[in-house]
Amino acid sequence: MRLSTFLPILAASLATAAPLEQRDTVEDYNAPPGGDVTILNYALTLEYLERKFYMEGLANYTQADFVAAGFADPFYDNLKEIYYDEQACFTLAGALGTAAVHEATYSFPSTDVKSFLALSSVLEGVGVSAYLGAAAEIVTGAYLTVAGSILTVESRHSSYIRAALKESPFPKPFDTPLDFNQVFSLAAQFITSFAPGDPALPFKAFPALTIQPSQYPYTAGSSPVTFTHAMKNAVSAGLIKADTPVYAVFFSGLDTYYVKVRTTSGNSGDFKIDMIPAGGNGQLAPTGQVYVVLSTADGTTTKVSDENTISGVGILEVNPVGQRDGVF
Ligand SMILES: *[C@@H]1O[C@H](CO)[C@@H](O)[C@H](O)[C@H]1NC(C)=O
């Protein structure tokens, strides 16, 4: 059922319930040019990336390396299973036929088992967010079923890796949808070049956001965050003036949080916030794999959108208030 058909029914059944908070950036989830074909190629691009990542990881690090790093058997075998699951790309490529994009070339920053697994956790989480964000715009029912069946497996991978890293396997009652450009911005960091001759996906990457010092994990309601050179970069790119108000906009589950940034002393051109929001006022605490962009939207007069995003997407692992180590 299309969302437009479903909404009146939903509205009727919610008439007596509390108003459902909608994600702010609804228009950014609209179907891209090319519709389902573009969305499937977008999914295929992510599947190729993940497949290559596990292929390299399994080649670079042995079973003994994982055991030595504290990931006892059958962890390595389960990683191999994840790699096999990423062959879902062939199903997508098959559905697309000659319209399918090809594998790009990639570069992953991992250098050992620990950094490989940290990135694995991030990529699985981004996979979940990507399929979730795209779902509402898939028109063909059969494709939605395929995408949904990949999404649920991605979320199992995510939970498994998160639990192995002693992070909460399912930190929040809702996962976090990301829009096409947000996911593209994250994926583009690992893509060194697209396959020659492939049609370019109609998405753009935002200017990259650097979070320093990188901390793991952060705590909702207390950790400060510095966005290194973010003001200097946005001013020199002509995206803002030095006195333009800028907000760090966090996404976690279906909640969106706005925190006004301040500049730091000295001439580093950083933006800073004194603490990650704690939730409250009807919002759950940001928890788990949390995303952040910098935007000129304040959340009241203007909502965050691709058009007013000046940098992103950053990723932080966040523990909720009062929870020390992410283990429930
Ligand atoms: C695997 O090792 C190669 C060579 O050192 C490196 O370039 C690549 O980034 C590594 N990939 C992963 C996923 O660890």
Superfamily for domain range 35-193:
Ferritin, core subunit, four-helix bundle (1.20.1260.10)
Residue 257 CB less than 6 A away from ligand 1: no
- 12-25+206-319 is a CATH 3.40.50.970 domain: no
Q: Indicate which residue's Cα is closest to atom 4 of ligand 1.
A: 60
Residue 54 CB less than 6 A away from ligand 1: no
Ligand 1 midpoint to CA 243 (Å): 42
Q: Which two tokens stand for residue 15?
A: 């008439």
Q: Which two tokens stand for residue 326?
A: 């992410």
- Map out the domains of the chain as residue ranges: 12-25+206-319, 35-193
Residue 198 in contact with residue 101, Cβ under 8 Å?
yes
> For ligand 1, what atom is nearest to the CA of residue 61?
14
Residue 203 in contact with residue 186, Cβ under 8 Å?
no
Q: Is the dihedral of CA 135, 148, 257, 14 positive or negative?
A: positive
Q: Which 3 state secondary structure label does DSSP give 252?
A: strand
- The residue to mutate among 48, 107, 108, 111, having the most atoms of ligand 1 within 8 angstroms of its beta carbon, is 108
- The residue to mutate among 51, 60, 191, having the most atoms of ligand 1 within 8 angstroms of its beta carbon, is 60
> For ligand 1, what atom is nearest to the CA of residue 107?
9
Buried b (16+ CB within 10 A) or exposed e, 36-56: bbbbbbbbbbbbbbbbbbbee
Ligand 1 midpoint to CA 246 (Å): 37
Per residue of the chain (328 residues), what is the pLDDT tens digit? 444 444 444 444 444 444 444 555 566 788 899 999 999 999 999 999 999 999 999 999 999 999 999 999 999 999 999 999 988 888 889 989 999 999 999 999 999 999 999 999 999 999 999 999 999 999 999 999 999 999 999 999 999 999 999 999 999 999 999 999 999 999 999 999 999 999 899 999 999 999 987 788 999 999 999 999 999 999 999 999 999 999 999 999 999 999 999 998 777 899 999 999 999 988 999 999 999 999 999 999 999 999 999 999 999 999 977 554 444 4
Q: Residue 294 burial by CB count (10 A; 0-12/13-18/19+): exposed, middle or buried?
A: buried
Q: Which two tokens stand for residue 114?
A: 């620990």
Quickly tell me which residue has 């920053």 as its tokens: 109
Q: What is the largest CA-CA distance in the chain?
A: 58
Rounded Cα gap, residues 65 and 84, in angstroms: 20
Pairing of strands 218-219, 309-319: parallel
